[in-house]
Structure 1
Amino acid sequence: MHGLHLTADLHGCRCAPLWLTDAAALGQACLAAVQAAGLQAVGQVFHVFPATVHGPGGVTATVLLAESHLCVHTWPEQAAVTLDVYVCNFGADHSAKAHALMNALLALLDATTVQRHALQRGELASAPSAPQSPTAPGAAVA
């Protein structure tokens, strides 16, 4: 279960509007980026949300990876996007591929502001301590 989880919140996306509103186009771009990064797509869901009074609906592009997943959510009325790339590193370290995938999508969406986060998942900071039962010596009893 060890892995790397990358997220990015993008604001001020200057990309072509279709990347924020056309689920099929965004999905194909995601699949191409997955392949270019050396990851393996094993499934996908591309969904368009309905337009609102604020503008065209956003899209979600999700690619299930043999190594874990990629998910992109868009808000065209805000020129905003959230990106989520998670790779498990069981059997091999896919971290460089995760960064390559994230960087390809960041380049495509061309945001003025990007907040990036990286989380190492599944690693224990220290050995877990045994849970203490309420009746153990020294435990408080209500």
Structure 2
Amino acid sequence: MQGALTIEGSLAAHGQHVMLDLTGYTSPRPDEGEWMLDVLRQAVTRSTARQVHAHVEDFDGTQSPPGFAAVVLLDESHLSAHCYSDRGWLAIDCFTCGGTDAQGIVDDVLEALVAVMPDLVVQQHRAVSRFMHPLEG
């Protein structure tokens, strides 16, 4: 495997998972799901990650709260956004393996969102080491 290796005690990590919970989301356009997918894809393009697929699903409120789920599938794992637009809730999630900087991707997404929605508030920000395994040899 190529990429970064983080040491934590007797374990090594070969991945990073960054999660944001935001409030104050307001729809910037009627096609908010497609807009968000474009924001995610642009952040991936500006990173070292490799996109392999992208999809958005809009929810009209008949079976679940109004909003969307957008995901960019990466060679390194994924970047996603899930939104309850009627409540102003938005969750961003990025998991990468190797040396790909999940935090940098999330920072890029957040910068793009705040430029359009300056009242967004980060309620929670977590970064977790992933692909934990015993140190070799």
Q: TM-score, normalised by structure 1?
A: 0.71
Residue 80 of structure 2 aligns with which residue?
71
Q: Is the 8 A contact 1:20 1:74 kept in 2?
A: no
The answer for the alignment partner of 1:131 in structure 2 is none
Work out the percentage of aligned pairs sharing the same amino acid. Answer: 26
Q: Say whether 1:32 aligns with 2:42.
A: yes
- Give the aligned partner of residue 112 of structure 2: 108
Q: In the TM superposition, what whole-angstrom CA distance separates every residue of 1:113-139 from its partner, at most 9, and x where no partner exists?
A: 331111111224789xxxxxxxxxxxx
Task: Say whether the 8 Å CA contact 2:40–2:80 is kept in structure 1.
Answer: no
Match of 2:129 among 95, 120, 126: 120
More helix by share: 1
TM-score under structure 2 length normalisation: 0.74
State whether structure 2 residue 45 is matched by structure 1 residue 45: no
CA distance in 2, matches of 1:112, 1:66: 30
CA contact (8 A) 2:97 2:131 kept: no
| Structure with the bigger percentage of strand | 2
2:103 & 2:30 partners in 1: Cα distance? Answer: 21
Q: How many equivalent residue pairs?
A: 117
1:17 aligns with 2:27: yes
Moved over 4 A (4+): none
Distance in structure 1 (CA, Å) of the matches to 2:133 and 2:49: 26
Change (3 A) 1:58 1:33: same
Structure possessing the higher radius of gyration over alpha carbons = 1
